[in-house]
Structure 1
Amino acid sequence: VRLAAQALAREVADRAPGLASAQWWKEERGESVFVDFNQNAKDRTVASAYSVRALPDARVSTPLAWDELRVRRPEEFTVPTVRARFAEIGDPHAGIDDAAGSLEGLLALAERLGPAERAPRGADGAGRRVSTMPLIEIARAATKDEALAGLDAWKARHPTVVEKLSPADVLVDGMRGSSSLWYRIRVNLQHVPEGERPAQGPLEVDYDPWRPGR
């Protein structure tokens, strides 16, 4: 299933370059939307239809009809509105299990496409992936606000660099620590001329999520 999903993602990215991406690593996607084939794997936590999202307005993952895709917005679908919608129109996904498709076409596509490109690995023997992008790390923090404050401090020191960055060059990642979520901020310097790129320096916020007692 994962191979079929990956083939679909690669084909969509080929047909809609700049709009869709099959690149798993955030820094390689730019402004494109990632078609997340890796959710088809062990231990994933994909939310099903009608799951309530962990947002202040209690948005709900809601099945849509095809003609709704271009005109409806996620914030429209909350617990109260989806209850009313379901009572009025029923479930747009009703009968989906009775119209099962086949993976044969996608698996044949995967064979035609060949193996997906893999990122190079470091030479230190740890098997870690090496990014092909010029990344520097700015902050590691226990909260997103602290991490963003570190980013603001870095930006204040590098205004000419900031002018050359696109929004997608600032990578804010929620990371899982030993017992809680922490935040990492990296900057992709791909749009900054090589001679103007600041070197990796001390982190603006240096939180250690693996320190005992965290």
Structure 2
Amino acid sequence: MATSEAITIDAGGRELRVSNPDRVIFPATERTAAVSKLDVVRYYLSVDDGILRALRNRPTTLERWPKGVHEGIVVSTRERGGGDAFFQKRIPRGAPDYVETARIAFPSGRFADEVCPTEIAVVGWAAQMGTITFHPWPVRRDDVDHPDELRIDLDPQPGTDFTDAVRVAACARELLADLGYVGFPKTSGGRGVHIYVRIEPRWTFTDVRHAAIAFGRELERRLPGEVTTKWWKEERGERIFVDYNQNARDRTIASAYSIRPKPGAPVSAPVDWDELPHVAPEDFTVGSMPARFAEVGDKHAAIDDVAHDLTPLLDLYEKDEAGDMPYPPDYPKMPGEPKRVQPSRDTDRARD
């Protein structure tokens, strides 16, 4: 594959070198033009205030696709490494001296120094390194053990779609109002909807996860048959899954304005509550978002104006006799957690 000479561009007052700027990262589709590496870098610079509001001072995992998002690319997973695309949790060697870090602890007890964006040049540098998606922790670098954000992830299961997630989001908005909370929705960049709520950094990851469980269970009660908090896929059915484990330590959600590794280069787009029912995920791409951002600014501009008390949701959790729910399978056994045996395996054991 032919490569082009490196160029230097301005990134918030710093000179940023972009190697192979013409490399195609996203091939053209019927609806979108091809997206080059330089296009990706310039996209992130164009939404500077928005992406920094989502990432500033947060330890951030980098989802890197240095060869581009093409058919046949292999993605490394927690279980299988060695892929062409991968998640980088530790700062890469040779990072510029202006790239700062935050030390975080994994559930295993191990530590890592993760990239902690403090200025737009860091975002541009990460994009030049092949980062497509940014996965910030829900904490700030000055206190990495107490989240300042509750994240509600509405994940459509097979048989449901974005329209169903939007309908559930409307109910979530009513629940937030009943709790006295202000939520900020965004498209996931796929079929889902994410809602962020700023909270006071007083609670542990376990507490925030319990609050997400309580929120999901209340949505189940308000929308019976449409919402589920069941961890095992066999039990979810054709419903919207409230993924409470996205609030567990070392679980992250693609940030606002992050590009998603899907055809057409869609992005996770902050939206107003009132416009959410009238948009589609494919409306927001690397090609379209800069103009929208220039026209309407950051729809999450007020997200830091107030931090909420998590007590009402924690009270709901304590009143629920169902107790805790399973953690992801790679976690150590957690206090109060029920057994992790999948329902299908329980049935097999009963037969034996």
Q: TM-score, normalised by structure 2?
A: 0.34
Residue number in structure 1 paired with 2:343: 132
Residue 79 of structure 1, aligned match among 264, 267, 286: 286
- Aligned 8 A contact 1:51 1:60 in 2: yes
Residue number in structure 2 paired with 1:63: 270
SS of aligned partner of 1:80: coil
Structure 1: runs of 5+ lacking an equivalent: 120-126, 137-214
Residue number in structure 2 paired with 1:28: 235
Cα deviation per residue 1:156-210 (whole Å; 9 max; x = unaligned)? xxxxxxxxxxxxxxxxxxxxxxxxxxxxxxxxxxxxxxxxxxxxxxxxxxxxxxx
Q: 1:54 to 1:135 in 2, by over 3 A?
A: farther
**In the aligned structure 2, how far is the partner of 1:30 from the partner of 1:106?**
26
Structure 2: runs of 5+ lacking an equivalent: 1-207, 327-337, 348-352
SS of aligned partner of 1:34: strand
SS of aligned partner of 1:11: helix
SS of aligned partner of 2:269: coil
Q: Is 1:2–2:2 an aligned residue pair? A: no
Q: 1:47 to 1:36 in 2, by over 3 A?
A: same
Give the fraction of aligned pairs with identical amino acids, expressed as a percent.
Answer: 53
Q: 1:99 to 1:128 in 2, by over 3 A?
A: closer
Residue number in structure 1 paired with 2:258: 51
- Aligned 8 A contact 2:226 2:239 in 1: yes
**In the aligned structure 1, how far is the partner of 2:231 from the partner of 2:264?**
29
Greater helix fraction, Structure 1 or Structure 2: 1
Greater strand fraction, Structure 1 or Structure 2: 2
Larger mean Cα displacement after TM superposition, 107-116 or 64-73? 107-116
Any runs of at least 4 consecutive aligned residues in structure 1 with deviations exceeding 2 A, and if so which?
Answer: 114-119, 127-136
- Aligned 8 A contact 2:234 2:343 in 1: no
Q: TM-score, normalised by structure 1?
A: 0.55
- Aligned 8 A contact 1:23 1:34 in 2: yes
